[in-house]
A and B are shown apart, each in its own frame.
Chain A
Amino acid sequence: MSTTIDARGLSCPQPVLLILDAIKKGGGTELIVLVDTDTSKENVSRAAESQGCTVTNVQPDGDGYQIFISRV
């Protein structure tokens, strides 16, 4: 099961706060995060990895990216 988080248009540090919340809450095994800047992409990936998660894929999505995060 995957959970999608839309962090597009949000400025620092909102995207990171959202995904850390989602990781803490548990639930599905996969998180899909939508972001619209490279900074958010890097920050979200770094934060996910700091929580022991793995960034399995990053795909361009419109003007932004879809980040796939797997919870171990």
Chain B
Amino acid sequence: MKNFFAGRWGIIGVGGIIGILAALLQKLGNPGNMGICVACFERDIAGALGLHRAAVVQYIRPEIIGFVVGSMIAAYLFKEFRPRVGSAPIVRFVLGAVAMIGALVFLGCPWRAVLRLAGGDGNAILGLLGLTGGIWIGTRFLKNGYNLGRTQATHTTVGWMLPLIMLGFLALMFVFPQVQDQEKSGVLFYSLKGPGAMHAPLFPALIVGLAIGFLAQRSRFCTMGAIRDLVLFGQIHLLTGFISLVAFAFLSNMALGQFHPGFAGQPVAHTMHIWNFAGMALAGLAFALAGGCPGRQLFLCGEGDGDAAVFVMGMIVGAGFSHNFGLASSPKGVGPHGIAAVVIGLVVCLFIGFTMRKKTA
């Protein structure tokens, strides 16, 4: 059976739908230019679990749960669920953590970078240039034989682990629901102010997440791959989806009165151009070395990819380090140790890129 969503109009359609839904999620309560941000939302989950104590970014984001479970539903329906694992998991964990550190210096993942652009935030241009630069470095490694090695088929249980963890997070939200004006409900932290306090209602957020997870699994939507394939092969297939996301998010923002052009005073953003560029360059390089953007890693988890699951756990733990160590930026600018973290992160990525060059047998 031909997969419509993997064709040209499929990927453009999926990008467009994501753009519209992201703008709607913002209208429904998500933070400014943050209808969807995989990095920010995983960071909020880390906060809700108490892995960091930054009081303004703590909330279990149902969108992330939906991404994984929606993808899993699609993978099962279309017989694409293939449990697999074993392609350098610890390296993927480190790359996930480093990617998160870079993304939180910029304040957003590639998804949010384009949503920020579509909302008029000029700082996103620096982030997207950095993202492209980081991915370009990644393609140099790929051309020189960099790879993470082969996966092995494995038990179904392995593929179920991350989806089950996500369902566990959802269960925690039901057992310990948000209580008005309380910063804690049972074991979960809930932000009372800041971006963590801004969220669409649980069920709309979950349903949108499920829909995007389903569609993205079918279309193989990947924001990093969009730029990588252009640089590496001159292919624009995934890029058309990425551009469609920006275009439809922009049009939706115009329609909803959410477009506010400028550099200063943008929501959850800072204007330190060099570090917007460098933070995203680090994230882009880490995503390129790991073979997928943070969204794609979640969709791969839904297909049973245990290595992508390790990457996701790396991102969540990386978010903990980011806030505990003062690496993450705030609207005031970079954190006290953010610059050092970007430098160390780049060294880590270069080390991985230069040393993992064994040709696949």
Residues in chain A within 8 A of chain B (CB atoms): 8-14, 16-18, 20, 36-39, 42-43, 46-47, 50, 63
Contact A12 B237, CB 8 Å, known A17-B142, A39-B220, A42-B3: no
Q: Mark B281-296, 1 if CB is under 8 A from A, else 0.
A: 0000000000110000
Q: How far is it, in angstroms, between the C-alpha of A62 and the C-alpha of B150 when the chains are bound?
A: 17
Q: Is the CB of B6 within 8 A of A11?
A: no
Identify which of B78, B84, B228, B360 contacts A14 (C-beta below 8 A): B360
Q: Mark B320-361, 1 if CB is under 8 A from A, else 0.
A: 000000000000000000000000000000000000000010
Contact A12 B82, CB 8 Å, known A46-B235, A63-B153: no
Q: How far is it, in angstroms, between the C-alpha of A10 and the C-alpha of B6 when the chains are bound?
A: 19
Additional 6 contacts, C-beta under 8 A, given A10-B147, A13-B291, A50-B233: A11-B87, A11-B292, A13-B232, A14-B360, A37-B80, A43-B220
Which A residues lie within 8 Å of B220 (CB)?
A: 39, 42-43
A53 to chain B, nearest CB (A): 14
Identify which of B148, B232, B235, B360 contacts A50 (C-beta below 8 A): B235
Residues in chain B within 8 A of chain A (CB atoms): 3, 6, 78, 80, 82, 84, 87, 142-143, 147-148, 150-153, 220, 222, 225, 228-229, 232-233, 235, 237, 291-292, 303, 307, 360
Q: Is the CB of A13 within 8 A of B228?
A: yes
Prevailing SS type, chain A contact patch = helix
Q: Is the CB of B87 within 8 A of A37?
A: no
15 contacts between A and B (CB under 8 A): A9-B152, A10-B147, A10-B360, A11-B87, A11-B292, A12-B291, A13-B233, A17-B143, A36-B82, A36-B153, A37-B80, A39-B220, A46-B237, A47-B235, A50-B233
Q: Is the CB of B150 within 8 A of A8?
A: yes
Q: Is the CB of A9 within 8 A of B151?
A: yes
Closest to B147 in A: A14
Q: How far is it, in angstroms, between the C-alpha of A63 and the C-alpha of B79 when the chains are bound?
A: 11
Q: How far is it, in angstroms, between the C-alpha of A36 and the C-alpha of B232 when the chains are bound?
A: 22
Q: How far is it, in angstroms, between the C-alpha of A37 and the C-alpha of B3 when the chains are bound?
A: 13
B149 to chain A, nearest CB (A): 8
Q: Is the CB of B82 within 8 A of A63?
A: yes
